[in-house]
């Protein structure tokens, strides 16, 4: 379990960059490319030495790269909408992805045009717009402020010590 535990990697400026595992973190630390910011997970014993298992590491050099613009997945949208149908407000894990302006009518697959919908509402709306279907959307779908947040979100419930490295506005979205 130890070598495969997730480790939060911060950029030199403390911005969250990505998640690696303990094995990879040890390589970065060993090569002097990163330093440990948080430990507290116990120890890993090799044949000759004992290593403290890192939880958060920080790169020594600043990595310049654009924010990852991954493909928008169903999971991203369900997380943004907190597993709640945007039409009827029902909270459920049994959701579908609804294109507000249907794709066959020219609707695009973007944050601004997709919402989580329960099966009943999706069936009711069918290939129509909300206006045509007389179904109100209580709020306009939006693009989250920092999309990279979503790659850390799944870990934040268990990795409590990571939370202080994720900007507060983003935390409030999920852990108010």
Residue 88 in the binding site for Zn ion (CB under 5 A): yes
Q: How far is the CB of 87 from Zn ion (least distance, A)?
A: 5
The sign of the dihedral angle between the CA atoms of 97, 102, 107, 113 is negative
Q: At what angle do helices 168-175 and 149-156 cross, to 10 degrees?
A: 50
Binding piece for Zn ion, criterion CB under 5 A, among 25-33, 87-95, 147-155, 168-176: 87-95
Beta bridge partners of 9: 18, 57
List the interface residues with Zn ion, window 102-121 (CB under 5 A).
Answer: 118, 121
Residue 150 in the binding site for Zn ion (CB under 5 A): no
User: Which residue among 85, 115, 116, 166 contacts Zn ion (CB under 5 A)?
Assistant: 85
Q: H/E/C letters for each residue in 49-100?
A: CEEECCCEEEECCCCCCCCCCCCCCHHHHHHHCCCECCCCCCECCCEEEEEC
Q: How far is the CB of 81 from Zn ion (least distance, A)?
A: 11
Residue 87 in the binding site for Zn ion (CB under 5 A): yes
Q: Please report, as ranges, the residues that interact with Zn ion according to CB under 5 A.
A: 85, 87-88, 90, 118, 121
């Amino acid at each position: 379990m130890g070598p495969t535990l997730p480790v939060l990697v911060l950029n030199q400026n403390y911005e969250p960059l990505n998640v690696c595992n303990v094995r990879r973190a040890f390589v970065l630390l060993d090569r002097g490319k990163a330093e440990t910011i948080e430990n507290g997970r116990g120890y890993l014993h090799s044949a000759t030495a004992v290593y403290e298992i890192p939880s958060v590491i920080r790169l020594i050099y600043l990595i310049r790269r654009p924010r990852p613009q991954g493909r928008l997945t169903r999971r991203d949208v369900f997380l943004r909408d907190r597993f709640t149908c945007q039409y009827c407000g029902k909270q459920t894990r049994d959701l579908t992805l609804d294109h507000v302006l249907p794709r066959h009518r020219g609707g695009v697959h973007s944050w601004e045009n997709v919402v989580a919908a329960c099966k009943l509402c999706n069936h009711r709306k069918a290939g129509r717009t909300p206006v045509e279907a007389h179904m109100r959307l209580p709020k306009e779908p939006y693009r989250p402020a920092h999309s990279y947040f979503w790659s850390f979100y799944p870990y934040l419930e268990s990795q409590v010590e990571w939370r202080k490295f994720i900007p507060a506005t983003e935390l409030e979205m999920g852990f108010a």
